[in-house]
Every structure is written in structure tokens, then in C-alpha cells.
Amino acid sequence: MIDFEIPTKADAIRSLVPKAEFYTSNDVPTYINLNGETQPTDSEIDAELTRLTTAYNNKKYQRDRAAEYPSVVDQLDDIYHNGIDAWKATIKTTKDKYPKP
């Protein structure tokens, strides 16, 4: 799955305490119900946000590829009319342009 949005503090909290119910206002969390989970500290939230942001940045090549690949319909049409090898060549151009790190 490709994540197209930059992670937020709310994403970090959801990652740390997935069962918690909360909302954020001006990036400040207010917990409604922790559902048995321990409230994360600000430093834990910041560390998780850093981890999520790094993971997001490391997958830039996936977002770049997804933006350039032909639609699935066009890819299937290419396979039907030109065969798998021609399709592979088309896809390889994009993969080579945006290699995995």
C-alpha cells in the first residue's frame, strides 16, 4: 500500500495507541477514551512521528512510480495488443527512472 499523505501527529498517536479515542486541536491531542491503553508521552509521539515520516520519505520512489504508470486498463490493453514483454519494457522505463533506494 502506498501512503500518499505526509504523516501527522494524529497518525503517530494512532500508531502508538490504536484503540484510543482522541481528537487534536492545533496539534494538541485530547484523549476521550484510552480503552485500556497507556497515554503516550510527547517524546514518544515525536519519536513515532519521526519514524513514520522517515518511512514515508523512504517510499518516495513508490509514489513517483504510481504517478507515472499507465492506468491498469491501459496496461492490460498493452499486454493484450503487444504481449507481456512489451508491457514489461514499458513498466521497466518507469522503474528505472525511480529505482528503489
Q: Domain range holding 91?
A: 59-101
What is the tens place of the pLDDT at every residue in 64-95?
999 999 999 999 999 999 999 999 999 999 99
pTM exceeds cut of 0.85: no
Please say whether the beta carbons of 21 and 32 come within 8 A: yes
In a domain, 26, yes or no: no
* pLDDT value at residue 1: 60
Residues 6+ apart with CB under 8 A from 17: 34, 37, 38, 39, 40
* pLDDT value at residue 11: 95
In a domain, 39, yes or no: no
Task: Please tell me the total count of domains within the chain.
Answer: 1
Please say whether the beta carbons of 69 and 75 come within 8 A: yes
In a domain, 50, yes or no: no
Q: What is the DSSP string of the chain?
A: ----S---HHHHHHHH-TT-EEEEETTEEEEEE-TTPPPPPHHHHHHHHHHHHHHHHHTHHHHHHHHHSPPHHHHHHHHHHH-HHHHHHHHHHHHHHS---
In a domain, 99, yes or no: yes
